[in-house]
Amino acid sequence: MENPNESEIPQISEAENVWDTSQEFSSVGKAKIDSLKDIVLEIEDMIEERKSLGRKFIREGENMKVKIHNFLLENAPKGENDSEFTRERAELRKKQIEISELQLNEKIGCWRDISLLKKELRENTKELNEKESRADMLGKILTE
């Protein structure tokens, strides 16, 4: 080994001493960022699914109430004097009220679920933005 230095210590050129760390550091945070992106997308999907489920529940309840109402209207003149029919009509009206209560509870539950999902979405979006910002800053530092 030839050594131009008199002290017999091998000299390392400046080019050999430079490490390309940009690839290593970018992959470190990439997995966490990708995971957060997936979580954010999943929460957004869950919000839409919950809204859809709530609308479907309300629509089905309305259909049931309309069917009960139509049944009562169609059969009202026929059984006016029948006490059994009067009792059944009262029961059907109670069912309509129960369905309305279930619909109201569903609206409240849906709102609560969506509110919690949106809170979780905000937290994960904030964390994602922070991680992406840090990764960008680190990438800029490493490329300088």
CATH of the domain at 61: 1.10.287
Please check whether residue 13 lies inside any domain of the structure: no
Residue 56 pLDDT: 96
Find all residues with CB under 8 Å of 93, minimum gap 6, and list them. Answer: 68, 72
Residue 91 pLDDT: 93
Q: Which domain holds residue 101?
A: 29-143
Please check whether residue 78 lies inside any domain of the structure: yes
Please check whether residue 122 lies inside any domain of the structure: yes
**Nearest in space to 70 (alpha carbons), one of 96, 107, 99:** 96
CA–CA distance, 38 with 44 (Å, rounded to integer): 10
Please check whether residue 21 lies inside any domain of the structure: no
Q: Is the CB of residue 113 less than 8 Å from the CB of residue 57?
A: no
Low-confidence ranges of the chain (pLDDT < 50): 1
For helices 22-75 and 83-143, the axis angle rounded to 10 degrees is 170
Residue 50 pLDDT: 96
Residue 12 pLDDT: 54
Please count the structural domains in the chain. 1
CA–CA distance, 130 with 108 (Å, rounded to integer): 33
Please check whether residue 24 lies inside any domain of the structure: no
